[in-house]
Amino acid sequence: MLKMYIGGRWVSAVSGRTRSITNPATGEQIDVAAEGGAEDARLAIAAARKAFDESDWPHTSARHRARLLFRLADLIERHAGEQARMETENNGKPLADAEDDVLTAANVFRYYAGLIGKPSGQVSDLPGSYVGRVVREPIGVCGLIVPWNFPLMMASWKLAPCLAAGNTCVFKPAELTPVTAVRLFELMEEAGFPPGVANLLLGEGRTAGAELAAHEQVDKIAFTGGTETGRGVMRAAAGNIKKLSLELGGKSANIVFADADLDIAADYAVSGIFLNAGQVCSAGSRLLVEESVYDRFVDMVVERARKIRVGNGLHPGVEMGPLISEAHMNKVLGYIKAGIEEGAVLLTGGKRITEGELARGFFVEPTVFGDVHSGMRIFREEIFGPVLSVTKFRDEEDAVRLANDSIYGLAGAVFTSDAGKAERVARRVRVGVFWINVYHPAMVEMPWGGYKQSGLGRELGTFGLDAFTEVKQIVHNLHPGPLGYYHWNRS
């Protein structure tokens, strides 16, 4: 049974409730997890609060915290094969993708271990005998909430900078995918993180997560998930004006001009949407194609989509796995139905896969819609599945207009052989992450986050560490003397 880790102890839920954890490729139970609730959240928060307020953790040297993070990174790599298999069984993604995620997680912990040893802050000579310093300090108790699409990698994105900065935390994975989070906390315990510094809370967002977001002893919430849930987190955090980092939804535009290398652009267009079965916040779900090459390019994309090997992620050669759950699969199928009803042309896919052993899982065919216009739901709403909407554009101005016609602003891309055009489009599309002649790379050294309703703040890079710190100014009077302001000081 998967237990929670609170105050340095492995515990069941106070209520005794549990949840069955299933493999979305087979529908089979792979484990049972403790189902924490509001009371468990309060216990975890109290443990984190005590560790921050009463232990030496916030005041330990950067070198000491770095040693622990480096040790954890080494342990993750040592057990990489085991964790990758766990991730695939719980999430469904192809094993090769899970292996990349595990190594990325280790790299993130190692990056922040190195970063906190670098010089930081500012020093200023001020008027008179004053010297000013600007320093960064930990915020306090942080609630970290991650989604089910990249369970281990998203955990590293939040835990690494949070702990590197000297905070304590309560970490809550998605209730559907707790397996690698539990294993990660076992490795953290082995690495030597003090009790209460990092606490693992299992359970639903509407109970355990809601308590974490609202509790007045929590100083910051870092949340990755849907935009509507993010609004709820913002409302809950208003009680004590928590610091917030929100990485929310996306409906990213991938723009292909006629002068692009179409073979290369087609490969990226396919991986841009069908990676992780489209369950990626930055997925290139809106493909915008210049009208002069529209028909030819769409044929190239459809041909590639039909060749994708769909199946159980543990099987060799599989390139796309299942959706995370039956409920989510039905939601995606509902969007496909809406696309057909609104007049988009279904070019390939569109159905649940029900042949052979795949009938036991939650598989949807790679789906491509053509002739999509901006009024359709499949153009405007985040589907979070293997569904690509293709829209034609006339010229550069039209492409930028369509790309920006969204409430979201997480990511985007352009494919063109004209460097000037690429730079113009990159500047004008209002997103936090933009790629030129490539799609999907996310690097720990670079900031990640979005404009508009795609969230607040940035993760990764130096920005990710800054997001877990408070900024303080300290002014030192080197030559104190009489103030001279009040009448008794005046000569």
What three-state secondary structure class fits 365? coil
Predicted model pTM:
0.96
- The residue among 324, 322, 308 whose CA lies nearest residue 359 is 322
Residue in the block written with tokens 């795949």:
358
pLDDT of residue 482: 85
Distances (CA, A) of 331 to 352, 362, 376: 12, 12, 16
Which pLDDT score is estimated for 120?
80
pLDDT along the chain (491 residues), means of 10: 98 98 98 98 98 97 97 98 98 98 98 91 86 95 98 98 98 98 98 98 97 98 97 96 97 98 98 98 98 98 98 98 98 98 98 96 98 98 98 98 98 98 98 98 96 98 97 94 84 63
252 DSSP assignment: -
pLDDT reported for residue 288: 98
Instruction: Tell me the angle at which helices 95-115 and 151-164 cross, rounded to the nearest 10 degrees.
Output: 10
Strands (E), 44-196: 122-125, 130-138, 141-145, 168-172
Are the C-beta atoms of residues 157 and 184 closer than 8 Å to each other? no
Distances (CA, A) of 84 to 27, 229, 302, 385, 397: 19, 28, 30, 22, 44
Distances (CA, A) of 381 to 191, 325, 374, 390: 43, 20, 11, 14
Strands 451-452, 408-409: pairing is: antiparallel
Cβ atoms of residues 109 and 73 within 8 Å: yes
The alpha carbon of residue 132 and the mean position of all alpha carbons in its chain are separated, in whole angstroms, by 37
Residues 6 or more apart whose Cβ sits within 8 Å of residue 410: 247, 248, 249, 250, 252, 281, 282, 431, 432, 433, 449, 450, 451, 454, 455
Q: Which residues are catalytic?
A: 247, 281
d(CA 387, CA 334): 11
Reading phi first (left if > 0) and then psi (alpha if -120 to 50, else beta), residue 238 is in: alpha
pLDDT of residue 491: 63
**Contact predicate 58/207, CB 8 Å:** no
pLDDT confidence of residue 238: 96
